[in-house]
Structure 1
Amino acid sequence: MSTGGGGGGAVKTPSDFLKSIRGRPVVVKLNSGVDYRGILACLDGYMNIAMEQTEEYVNGQLKNKYGDAFIRGNNVLYISTSKRTLTDDA
């Protein structure tokens, strides 16, 4: 059994993951298929998400750029860390 600690086999909960990605680039996919990419500012227990430097992608195409954005949790399909930085598309 793993009790946490510094080992690589430590069990992480979804809550641990979400706390660890605050302030990092993320991709938020909505139920509608639209992606929002930006910096995760904060989120709450309902998965309401606040993002900074947000970009909206529809069918893989950049549609809009927003400074700050708020996404209501019931629209979120998933949230993922982004493998690339926001400036890679420029």
Structure 2
Amino acid sequence: AAEPPSPPSTSGSPTDFLKGVVGKRVVVRLTLGVDYRGILSCLDGYMDIALEQTEEHANGGRITNRYGDAFVRGDN
């Protein structure tokens, strides 16, 4: 049987970690307490984040919206 894929490495820089999770499901929590859950498509040096298959979670974790693609500015 094949072994499951190993989780991204916790050593190295935050940039290395983030590069390792591109293409995987992530949760982006904004300072306002809203979560966006989706597949990390890309990010840049300003921490602007693009997600695919995105769900917005608020009010105790319930889904409030669904988006195909979403862009979260790094200053949020």
TM-score (structure 2 length as normaliser): 0.83
Consecutive aligned runs of 4 or more in structure 1 exceeding 6 Å deviation: none
- Written as runs of structure 1 = structure 2, the 5 A alignment for 1:27-46 is 27-46=27-46
Return 5+ residue gaps in structure 2 as ranges: 1-9
RMSD over aligned CA atoms reads: 1.2
Deviation at 1:16, TM superposition (A): 0.6
Question: 2:17 corresponds to which residue?
Answer: 17
Return 5+ residue gaps in structure 1 as ranges: 1-9, 76-90
Deviation at 1:12, TM superposition (A): 1.4
Paired residue type of 2:19: K
User: Among the aligned pairs, what percent are the same residue?
Assistant: 64
Rg comparison, structure with higher value: 1
Q: What is the total number of aligned residue pairs between the two structures?
A: 66
TM-score (structure 1 length as normaliser): 0.71
